[in-house]
Amino acid sequence: MENMKNFTGLTSDQVSEKIQQGLTNDFTAKTSSSTWDIIKRNVFTLFNALNFVIALALAFVQAWSNMVFFAVISFNALTGIMTELRAKRMIDKLNLMTKEKVDHSSEEKRTQTKGKSSSETPKGKGRRSTRKSTKRKVEIHYVE
């Protein structure tokens, strides 16, 4: 226990200064694509462009019975769009559910920052902890 360091948090003046300097944990992470991006990704592909050119050539020579493949290509793009939109909706709901509130242990900080989200907490002194995940490394800053 002798190796434990005594960490102290920021004073209220330091917190105000950090916030004025813009040194907060506030950031916007783009967690999902826009609807237009999803449509572009599924419609405007090289594969679809080549099939569209072939369909135009078949329409030009009036080979209507050979254009059935274009319906399958269109259905494929439509199902891809629907699947991604459903996944986007689910991700957006999960992001709302996992928005975490920060609870500080120091009495001085508790009176000033209790109930604030992590984006409102200033960067600066504090104890750091890392938690390993299977997908990414998450760094958590504790302000005492």
45-74 per-position pLDDT tens digit: 999 999 999 999 999 999 999 999 999 999
Determine contact, residues 36/84, Cβ cutoff 8 Å.
no
Confidence of residue 141 (pLDDT cuts 50, 70, 90): low
Determine contact, residues 101/91, Cβ cutoff 8 Å.
no
Q: CA separation (Å) from 62 to 48, 68, 78, 113, 122?
A: 20, 13, 26, 72, 68
pLDDT score for 133? 45
Determine contact, residues 130/115, Cβ cutoff 8 Å.
no
pLDDT score for 88? 92
| Assigned token pair, 53 | 């050119």
Confidence of residue 14 (pLDDT cuts 50, 70, 90): confident
Q: How far apart are CA 25 and CA 120, in angstroms?
A: 6
CB within 8 Å of 26: residues ≥ 6 apart: 119, 120
Q: What is the mean pLDDT of residues 114-123?
A: 54
Q: How far apart are CA 99 and CA 108, in angstroms?
A: 24
Comparing C-alpha atoms, which of 133, 130, 98 is closest to residue 117? 98
What mean pLDDT, rounded, does the chain reach?
76
Is this structure's pTM higher than 0.75?
no
pLDDT score for 10? 80
**pLDDT-above-90 percentage for the chain:** 38
Q: What is the mean pLDDT of residues 14-43?
A: 84
Measured between its terminal Cα atoms, the distance across the chain in Å is: 19
**pLDDT-above-70 percentage for the chain:** 63
Task: Residue count of the chain, please give it.
Answer: 144
